[in-house]
A = this chain, B = another copy of it.
Amino acid sequence: MTETLSQTDAATTVTTWLADFESALATGDPDAVTALFAEECYWRDLVAFTWNIVTVEGRDGVRDMLAETLERVRPHAFRIADDLGGATGGDGVVESWIAFDTAVGRCVGLVRLRGGLAWTLLTTMNELIGHEEPLNGRRPKGAEHGAHPDRKTWLEQRRQETEDLGHTTQPHTLVIGGGQGGIALGARLRQLGVPTIVIERSARAGDQWRSRYKSLCLHDPVWYDHLPYLDFPKNWPVFAPKDKIGDWLEMYTKVMELNYWASTEAVRASYDAETHEWTVVVRRDGEEITLRPKELVLATGMSGKANVPVFEGADVFRGDQHHSSRHPGPDAYAGKRAVVIGSNNSAHDICAALWENDVDVTMVQRTSTHIVRSDSLMRIALGGLYSEEAVAAGMTTQKADLTFASLPYRIMHEFQIPVYDEIRKVDADFYARLEAAGFLLDYGDDDSGLFMKYLRRGSGYYIDVGASDLVASGDIKLRSGVEVARLTEDSVVLSTGEELPADLVVYATGFGSMNGWAADLISQEVADEVGKVWGLGSATTKDPGPWEGEQRNMWKPTRQEALWFHGGNLHQSRHYSLYLALQLKARYEGIPTPVYGLPEVHHTS
């Protein structure tokens, strides 16, 4: 009864606030609106108001954003979204799912009120009015009933499209990179009717996963990893093995009817600012084809371009040496000696697989690493939104994604720190054993743990699925707090002078910024103009300030017209592909998309 009353109270509070909010918005006076926000406030907008992905902070931020956007956006019909879960209250915060419309879109969001004023507000465009996806009640009929002379069957139409697109007709959008990001975006654009080609260097969709080290499994659990439109089946493993996820991506690409060009490499690209058109030369099965898309998306992966350090003596080393992304697995190295440079996810996975295959393996840890046990991460950090229990309690992927997106990046670490404090307590013995073995641990510059490291720098951590015990026990040998001085014909020499005999050296040394791809494909000039991709500007290690409020250049307009970056883990590929697809669809349909808040570029890589 208490809960019901409290829900009613929460609903009343939210209904009042929404009515006031709508009235204030209708006046067109930003000051009337900001009066409904708390001093400390955050408004995160995904495309609905800004045709951008932006978080504005404080009343000044809200005022500035509305001054530029309100007249055009014409937001209205604000209401509690009961289908998403309505309003709830507790701990002095009233939280509510909301829905509203703009001049062009149907939108949903989440608002949190403190003392009757907005503390956080998330607004997201969900669909463009008049351009809805053909889902559920709108799904295509398939069979065309009636009699139609010269009827083309589904197969004939697909074949025709496949033959024409890129030859006699041009794609509106070209997506370079056919991993999970390019595939998820391709599926969304297909539903939205935007002519799109996705090109991929590998021979088959899914090869991006298949080609990696053989012991690799997803580190994120199944509930976090669904692609758009088609959930993994209920018998899907919690942590999918790489080849299985590869097969799924291949099947998904086909079932979703993507125009997917495998065995195709992008050679060079240039943009004509007069005609607003790209010229992209691709090599498909050896043949050069010139494409002229209006929009170009680089979905080559935040883990696309390998950082390979150049050590003195690398040219004389007689054994095998390769970057972790090219490591084939342990089979060829049984009985031999391996040195793995690095101490993050790939380094740990590779060391463990080598040890399991009877390889004498040493990990060289140069700087500290954040470790979190997979079980603890699932249970304590992710379980509320992405778990079997969450699903059983009525959590949907959409609600989980939006909840996740509703927490402003500026204060997200405050919610993360207690989570990792708890994990450190629960796993104290585990961490003590690692430290006793000499392993250098950290929990992020501000102890905010794994997810903040991922958002800020995309590196610096290992989700432990077993290798840490091998490090603690000394089965995987460890040299920590050292640098590599040089390689010899048959060894790695450390900065301490110690010489590690080696038949194999693996550089588990991470990946560069995605605008490096733009440098290769387009020009250094464009890469510099666009600037660094990824990171929040948090002024923490490998994420220099100033504060950006959002991830740099991801899923939103860049300083290069018609150039976009898409990627991230499966969760991000799923969720943010929606907003990127809506931005591309609007441009395809000629719907005006004035961008609010295009940021300055502070770093070129």
Q: What is the interface of chain A, defined by CB distance below 8 A to chain B?
A: 133-137, 139-143, 145-151, 153-156, 158, 191, 214-215, 217-218, 222, 229-230, 233-241, 243-244, 247-248, 251, 254-256, 352-353, 355-358, 374-375, 388, 391-392, 465-467, 469-470, 475
Measured CA separation A10–B198 after assembly (Å): 57
For the complex, would chain A's binding face be called helix, strand, loop or mixed by DSSP majority?
A: loop
Measured CA separation A234–B148 after assembly (Å): 27
Task: Report copies per complex.
Answer: 2
With a CB–CB cut-off of 8 A, which chain B residues contact A154? 241, 243-244
CB-nearest residue of chain B to A353: B151
With a CB–CB cut-off of 8 A, which chain B residues contact A140? 235, 237-238
- B237 and A149 within 8 A (CB): no
With a CB–CB cut-off of 8 A, which chain B residues contact A244? 142, 154-155
**What are 27 sample pairs from A and B whose C-beta atoms fall under 8 A apart?**
A136-B388, A136-B392, A137-B388, A139-B238, A140-B235, A141-B238, A142-B218, A142-B237, A142-B238, A142-B239, A143-B238, A143-B241, A143-B374, A145-B374, A145-B465, A146-B466, A147-B352, A147-B470, A151-B215, A151-B353, A153-B214, A153-B243, A155-B244, A156-B214, A229-B233, A229-B234, A251-B251
With a CB–CB cut-off of 8 A, which chain B residues contact A241? 142-143, 153-155
Given contacts A141-B239, A154-B241, contact A234 B136 (CB under 8 A): yes
Nearest 6 CB-CB pairings of A with B: A142-B237, A143-B217, A154-B241, A143-B239, A251-B251, A142-B239
CB-nearest residue of chain B to A142: B237
- A355 and B234 within 8 A (CB): no
Measured CA separation A150–B353 after assembly (Å): 9
Closest-CB distance, A154 to chain B (whole angstroms)? 4
- B233 and A255 within 8 A (CB): yes
Closest-CB distance, A182 to chain B (whole angstroms)? 18
CB-nearest residue of chain B to A137: B388
- B255 and A214 within 8 A (CB): no
Excluding A143-B241, A146-B465, A154-B241, 13 further A-B contacts by CB distance (< 8 Å) are A139-B238, A142-B237, A142-B239, A143-B218, A143-B465, A145-B465, A147-B356, A147-B466, A147-B467, A147-B469, A149-B356, A153-B215, A155-B214
Measured CA separation A254–B147 after assembly (Å): 36
CB-nearest residue of chain B to A145: B465
CB-nearest residue of chain B to A355: B147
- A243 and B155 within 8 A (CB): yes
Closest-CB distance, A147 to chain B (whole angstroms)? 5
Measured CA separation A229–B230 after assembly (Å): 12
Closest-CB distance, A215 to chain B (whole angstroms)? 6
CB-nearest residue of chain B to A148: B356
Closest-CB distance, A337 to chain B (whole angstroms)? 17
With a CB–CB cut-off of 8 A, which chain B residues contact A222? 139
CB-nearest residue of chain B to A388: B137
Measured CA separation A148–B137 after assembly (Å): 49
- A237 and B141 within 8 A (CB): yes
With a CB–CB cut-off of 8 A, which chain B residues contact A147? 352, 355-356, 466-467, 469-470, 475
CB-nearest residue of chain B to A155: B243
Given contacts A142-B218, A217-B143, A255-B248, contact A150 B356 (CB under 8 A): yes
